[in-house]
Structure 1
Amino acid sequence: MRRWKTKRYLISALGVLLAFVGWQLLRGGEQSFASDDERFDYGSLGAELVAGIPYPIFRTLPQLFPDLLARHASPGAGTDSPGRTGYEAFGLAVETDQALPIGFSIKRLGVERVTVNCALCHTTAYRLDPDEAPRYARGGPGHTANIQGLLRFLFAAARDPRFSAAEMLPAMEQHSPLDWSQRAMYTVLWIPLTRLALRIADNQLAWMDDKPAWGPGRDDAFNLPKYVLTQAPWDNTVGNTDFPALWQLGQRRGQLMHSGGEARSVAAVIATSALGTGALPFGDFAARNRWLEGFLSELAPPPFPAAIDATLAARGGELFADHCATCHASNGERSGQAIPVDEVGTDPEHVLTFQAKDAKRMNRVTATLGMDDAEMQGAAGYVARPLVGVWLLAPYLHNGSVPTLHDLLSPPEQRPAVFQRGYDVLDTVHLGFVASGEAAQVKGFRFDTRLRGNGNGGHRYGSELAIPDKRALIEFLKTL
């Protein structure tokens, strides 16, 4: 009888312990925001269970690993920003009243966990003058965001022996004290689990090291889901692609989406992108995606922030109608269609990355998860997009290989073979960002168009125009 009571007590104690651990793992919390803009900037996409990093750990990493931060950060990034977290060193958008840069969400699931959302890659930083604070354009391409550098920093930290309770707990407690139970949970659960998850992700993304660097403002847009979500074998393809703008997506309904036309709807883009962050298609997944689609349908870019010559722009509007509108007006005959690579002549690598066989694998994954609105297809060329906020979309072409619109209107052989990308000061004359000179070299990433996937050829449209006509067309493009 005594042995039975002892066993019963042990079972009861184990049940209490498991319940406590479950409570620590899954205790939920809600987010609230003052506006839809704030929700886009900091709202959760629902990835906490799969990809969430406990906030006290995430906050501590730059402090604990300053050497690794310096090794993987963007050149010169964060030195003149108002940031204070360390993560601004990856060229991320920072607001002084927030705990983390734009694009990070903090939501409780057991503990407060950090995940990413759309705004991380889709917030544009720009300045008219090097001495002013950055301005941010919500929904624009994050041309300064060094996502590959951020990933490499996190992975290097997880490989470092300092990623341990002995080293991490004292650093965490410099921000806020922990009681004995919290110290115990971080020691036996959260720190080891976080390190393990980062090591697994490191292994999944090891193929990055065999391909040309993304550089700021880009990722390997379709090798990421191909290798990670569908578990396709690694191949030799290079899909480095600029982050696109998300402005006024309501104009894109019925058109092909992504650079290569891999999706047929905005809903498919949002659903598969959320899946790629670690969100699972359950609970409020569909409702959250519908909110995002509605928000992005109307989201507009900021107006061009400098003077525009109205007379010159009017002349440029006529030239746009004659030379560009077929592909780049919202109602153009070929807007939203994939232009074959043989016709447009731009670097083919992105198209080769995601073919019909890859789409078939991806569709099996989404079908298994019950995602009926997320069907993908193989890339068919490069999509001619309606031009919205074009003055803020530099560098240009799908791979960001042309620094300014002036360069894009030049014959390919006259375009810069090497330039700096990731510097946020506008070139209001040539329309783009400053891509040469001392300041750009200090803060920018050296972009070499001779590397695979970085080619700047093709898209000769407009290169035959006379110089005065090019100036007029550029002036008009400031108005879009």
Structure 2
Amino acid sequence: MAIFSGKFGKNLTAIGLVVVLFLGTLVGVGWFKFLREVPTFYASPEQHFNYGSIGAEARDGMPYWMWLVLPRLFPEYLPGPGGYASLGISWEPGEELPIGFSKKVIGFPRQGITCAVCHTATYRNSPEENPTFVYTGPSSRFNLQGYINFLRSSARDPRFNADYILNSSNGISYVAGLSWLDKQLYRFLIIPITKTILLNFDESFSWMDVRPDQGPGRIAPFNPVKFRILGLPIDDTIGNSDMMPLWNEQQHEGFALHWDGLETSLTETALEGALGDGATQKSLDVEGIARVEDYIRKVPPPAYPYAIDTQLAETGSLIFENSCASCHAFGGERTGTVIPVEEIGTDRHRLDMWTQEAVDAYKAYSEGYDWEFTEIRKTNGYVSVALDGLWLRSPYLHNGSVPSLVDLFESPENRPTEFYRGYDVYDPVKMGFISTGPEAEKAGFRYDTSLPANSNQGHVYGTDLSTQDKTALIEYLKML
């Protein structure tokens, strides 16, 4: 019996050791394939701005290989041919990723977005030209809502399954050399889990379906924060607004930030932007975001690339000094401050979207972390912004409702009520992107000022100037 017990004990010990080794191996493989983080680093501040991680891959990042093949598998859910390019997403020659997208290994390669996806402007002199990229500029072409809807629609498609995504003629197996183990992980775990996440994502953005489309170059940056991050109840507010430039932030020190001035801290604004782009409290890359903040402080505004009548501009500078400088010149007494909406008269939907309840919830959201939100607030108007790089900010007003500067200096009843935005061929005469005609209609999004939050009313400053004074003023504004 003692001999039997000894053998049994040794066998039991051996079995236990095997089980421990098996479980340890399983845990190790699981960590390596799903949790292991490989830092990404770009030495160039510009490259980091364009492609560096801000922590968005963990929650909202798609598995990279799935993200890469989705446009080939579900092209019918895109606005046109060309894959992601049909959404206004741009690639630099020789780059693996489009501008504004990151790639980071968290167990497996995952895709995220960066600040540059909304804050890289493009312009062309003619339809035949390749675009010129202006980093930190406001994108007039990226269709964020279209991108979100593409992911939502793809996830709802019955073909969104492992067989189709892995093995169809445009699937992952034909573009990536996955190992046998990785294929099994994609088949049984990664693809099914991603589908579940995207269906939840679909539901969390269903509020967009009952509001006017944002269109290219516009976003609703804070309703997703309210509903998805802060857990506030879905309301009927509309936050659709134009993307803003990020250049020259050092000279903007002390100015109110965002269209309604809900922030005064650039550091907090950068952190809030990363959270809005998909980072979580734990995944937020504070160091990487600090590099972005340092970069946007130093990038100068883009110089106007066309000829300027300097004599006419000199005349315009006097008109600017008398009519505009107090609100829009660096050093102006109201520049960078919030002007009450009752005075400025522009569409108030974006202002009403942000509530004191959201402010309080955002402050509580940062409690217990090394970073915090102390300067976020509720205001009652819109910021009188400095006009550096004004030529590339078309369309104008906070909701992008006026296509050009020439149109902005018309009385509201004479401004265009419909135009097309998202076409990046520039019109130096009107000082804005071309917004009418067959090419603009083909490439652009029809903007209707009669829809809620799309009003082009207000900001009547300068509309009573003479035609000659308006022409001179616009010539000077090209120099800013």
TM-score bracket, shorter-length normalisation: over 0.9
Identity of aligned residues (%): 40
In 2: Cα distance, 1:229 partner to 1:252 partner: 28
| Residues 93 and 125, structure 1, Cα contact 8 Å, conserved in 2 | no
Equivalent position SS for 1:464:
coil
In 2: Cα distance, 1:200 partner to 1:222 partner: 19
Equivalent position SS for 2:37:
coil
Correspondence 1:323 to 2:323: yes
In 2: Cα distance, 1:367 partner to 1:242 partner: 30
In 2: Cα distance, 1:402 partner to 1:283 partner: 38
Shift of 1:378: 1.1
Q: How does 1:212-251 map to 2 (within 5 A)?
A: 212-251=212-251
Shift of 1:446: 0.3
Q: How does 1:178-327 map to 2 (within 5 A)?
A: 178-282=178-282, 285-327=285-327
In 1: Cα distance, 2:344 partner to 2:435 partner: 25
In 2: Cα distance, 1:402 partner to 1:102 partner: 27
Amino acid at match of 1:419: F
Shift of 1:14: 2.9
| Residues 90 and 150, structure 1, Cα contact 8 Å, conserved in 2 | yes
Shift of 1:61: 0.5
Shift of 1:307: 0.6
| Residues 137 and 301, structure 1, Cα contact 8 Å, conserved in 2 | no
Shift of 1:360: 0.9
Q: How does 1:455-474 map to 2 (within 5 A)?
A: 455-474=455-474
Number of equivalenced pairs = 468
In 2: Cα distance, 1:110 partner to 1:266 partner: 33
| Residues 338 and 382, structure 2, Cα contact 8 Å, conserved in 1 | yes
Amino acid at match of 1:213: D
| Residues 57 and 112, structure 2, Cα contact 8 Å, conserved in 1 | yes
Paired residue for 1:136? 133
Correspondence 1:30 to 2:39: yes
Task: Deviation per CA, 1:200-240: give whole Å up to 9, x if none.
Answer: 21111110001111100111122121111111111111110
Paired residue for 1:419? 419
Task: Deviation per CA, 1:432-464: give whole Å up to 9, x if none.
Answer: 111111111111100000100000000000000
Shift of 1:96: 2.5
Correspondence 1:65 to 2:74: yes
In 2: Cα distance, 1:30 partner to 1:288 partner: 11
Shift of 1:6: 4.2
Correspondence 1:402 to 2:402: yes
Amino acid at match of 1:159: R
Q: Which stretch has the larger CA shift, 146-155 or 297-306?
A: 297-306
Paired residue for 1:158? 155
Correspondence 1:113 to 2:110: yes
Change in 2 beyond 3 A, CA 1:326/1:395: same
Paired residue for 2:59? 50
Amino acid at match of 2:108: V
Q: Which stretch has the larger CA shift, 8-17 or 328-337?
A: 8-17
Q: How does 1:329-478 map to 2 (within 5 A)?
A: 329-373=329-373, 375-478=375-478
In 2: Cα distance, 1:386 partner to 1:475 partner: 17
Q: Which stretch has the larger CA shift, 141-150 or 270-279?
A: 270-279
In 1: Cα distance, 2:278 partner to 2:412 partner: 40
Equivalent position SS for 1:367:
coil
In 2: Cα distance, 1:367 partner to 1:216 partner: 35
Task: Deviation per CA, 1:361-398: give whole Å up to 9, x if none.
Answer: 11111224443245411132100111111000010000
Shift of 1:144: 0.5
In 1: Cα distance, 2:433 partner to 2:143 partner: 16
In 2: Cα distance, 1:339 partner to 1:469 partner: 25
Shift of 1:278: 2.5
In 1: Cα distance, 2:141 partner to 2:266 partner: 25
Task: Deviation per CA, 1:37-82: give whole Å up to 9, x if none.
Answer: 111111110222222212111101011112222xxx2x67x5xxxx
Change in 2 beyond 3 A, CA 1:32/1:369: closer
**Which runs of structure 1 show a deviation greater than 6 angstroms over 4 or more consecutive aligned residues?**
none
Shift of 1:311: 0.5
Change in 2 beyond 3 A, CA 1:279/1:459: same
| Residues 252 and 266, structure 1, Cα contact 8 Å, conserved in 2 | no
| Residues 351 and 380, structure 1, Cα contact 8 Å, conserved in 2 | yes
Amino acid at match of 2:85: E
| Residues 281 and 371, structure 1, Cα contact 8 Å, conserved in 2 | no
| Residues 267 and 373, structure 1, Cα contact 8 Å, conserved in 2 | no
Larger Rg: 2
Paired residue for 2:5? none
Paired residue for 1:81? none
In 2: Cα distance, 1:292 partner to 1:403 partner: 30
Q: Which stretch has the larger CA shift, 367-376 or 388-397?
A: 367-376
Shift of 1:163: 1.7
| Residues 105 and 116, structure 1, Cα contact 8 Å, conserved in 2 | yes
| Residues 48 and 292, structure 2, Cα contact 8 Å, conserved in 1 | no
Equivalent position SS for 2:250:
helix
Equivalent position SS for 2:292:
helix
| Residues 53 and 285, structure 2, Cα contact 8 Å, conserved in 1 | no
User: Structure 2 regions of 5+ residues with no counterpart?
Assistant: 1-7
Paired residue for 1:82? none
Shift of 1:284: 7.6
Amino acid at match of 2:84: Y
Q: How does 1:81-120 map to 2 (within 5 A)?
A: 86-120=83-117
Correspondence 1:169 to 2:166: yes
Shift of 1:282: 5.0
Q: Which stretch has the larger CA shift, 34-43 or 369-378?
A: 369-378
| Residues 222 and 354, structure 2, Cα contact 8 Å, conserved in 1 | yes
Task: Deviation per CA, 1:17-43: give whole Å up to 9, x if none.
Answer: 122111111222232335211111111
Change in 2 beyond 3 A, CA 1:161/1:50: same
Amino acid at match of 2:263: A
TM-score by length of 1: 0.94
TM-score by length of 2: 0.94
In 2: Cα distance, 1:117 partner to 1:297 partner: 17
Equivalent position SS for 1:382:
strand
Correspondence 1:39 to 2:36: no
Correspondence 1:9 to 2:9: no
Shift of 1:174: 1.2
Amino acid at match of 1:22: W
In 2: Cα distance, 1:326 partner to 1:63 partner: 52
Aligned Cα RMSD in Å? 1.7
Equivalent position SS for 1:321:
helix
In 1: Cα distance, 2:159 partner to 2:368 partner: 40
Amino acid at match of 1:57: M
Amino acid at match of 1:222: F
